[in-house]
Amino acid sequence: MLVRHLSALTLALALLWYRSGRVLRANVLDIPPLPQGYFQGGDWQTHCSLVTDETQDELRYCEDITFWDYVDANGTQTDRHVLLGCDPNRKAWNTVMGPLRDPAPRGHLFLYPAWTGKPATSKPQKLKLVGYPPHHDFHPLGLEAAPSRGDGQPSNLFVVNHARDASTIEHFLLDPSRPDEARYVRTLRSRWLVAPNAIALTGPSSFYVSNDHLLTRRLPGPLGRVLPLLETVLGLPLGWVAHFTIDETTGSVLEHALSAPGIPFANGISLSPDGRTLAVASTSTAQLLFYTRDPSTNSLTHAHTVALPFLPDNIRYDDTGALLATGHPHFPSLAAVASSPSPSSSPPSDDATSPSWTVSLTHLPAMNLANPAAYAKRIYDSRAPLSASALVPAAPMAHDVETVFQSDGTSTNGIGMSSSSTALRDPMTHSVYVVGLYGEGMLICR
């Protein structure tokens, strides 16, 4: 009997190593030799600057950012802002990584003028949450805003909220005539929102939402400390993507559909500009999953998978159809930052840092390769100090991968970004915006 159990354990460990050996080596056991900073557009120390909240120090630990656009009656984009979801209390309340110690201090939303702002002079503005229930927690994670159309009509903003009792989605209205506020509409609750993480809009009141875990830290006692960790480390395919359609009159869920089940740690999601491809980040397997979408039904069909040199967090398509993926090259460093004291705590932070990496994935036309194995071994991403090709093979007949930003997580002259979680790119202004799960401020490179 013992021999049988040992054989089963050996087989399980062998399968785990076969499936996740690359991730364990590249992102857990080894510390990648990343530079202090690299920006695709030029010298990072002269092209990048850090925007912070110099008065209250609340613009930090911003897990997700998104664009909020103004579009006129002719369909022409007239303005653009960056919307940030920040939670300075993340080291005391994090339902994904832990701990669940103190849910009381609220997070914040900030707005930054992307087209008119200048990093040297412009500052993000904290939004007032008008009408928000006074005793309702606010711990923002994934968020996305519909564009304001016509003559400045209000538009919907949906924000994942990891509140103390349950995770919800908060519905706000953004009004161009009142750019300093987000007006609360309702709180969306559903038994299908087990561990919501990221949102991708399919319409003004419909969206995909990822659920990163089935076994969460909300489970009682030691179960909440052990089972989510096992689900993550073992890469168990228990995460999923669902689609919701909301009745804006009543706030009830008109339709729910399980769109993409069986995804290990389903994290960031993003819908392509043409609405026909949904990309999903699988953090624990260091992969991006691409699904073909039927716009008439919102059904998804898996198309292909691309391996990344880091553990992806959030992903965002830009206006050209290129996908920016951002994440964590070294998980132990991220865990060390998460457990270190915050800057405002006593004793103060021990200055732990976690490296950052953003890549751009450009879709390649279909190719008939005579030797796919040789193509996979080619060197790509050759301009970056640490090439992605040094850690993962090329993705044949899928995407061209190129590093946009990478850093060892340290700062020089106050410029840097630790624990990168999201990056946006605006082709109009040639600007890249980067924030970190436990990073200070927002890095702007242009």
Residue 144, phi-psi category: left (phi > 0), alpha (psi -120 to 50), beta (remainder): beta
Q: Which CATH class is domain 23-445?
A: mainly beta
Average pLDDT of span 110-114: 96
Report the distance separating Cα 398 and Cα 390, nearest Å: 18
Give yes or no for residue 377 having a pLDDT over 80.
no
Report the distance separating Cα 431 and Cα 416, nearest Å: 16
Q: Six-digit token pair at 342?
A: 């915050």
Which region among 153-157, 363-367, 441-445 has the lowest average model confidence (pLDDT)? Answer: 363-367
Average pLDDT of span 193-213: 98
168's CB contacts (< 8 A; 6+ apart) are 160, 161, 187, 188, 189, 193, 196
- Are 175 and 184 in contact by the 8 Å Cβ rule? The answer is no
Residue linked to tokens 């300093």: 180
Report the distance separating Cα 398 and Cα 290, nearest Å: 10
Give yes or no for residue 289 having a pLDDT over 50.
yes
Instruction: For 72-100, write each residue's pLDDT tens digit.
Output: 999 999 999 999 999 999 999 999 999 99
pTM: predicted TM-score of the whole model, two decimal places:
0.93
Q: Six-digit token pair at 84?
A: 């940030």
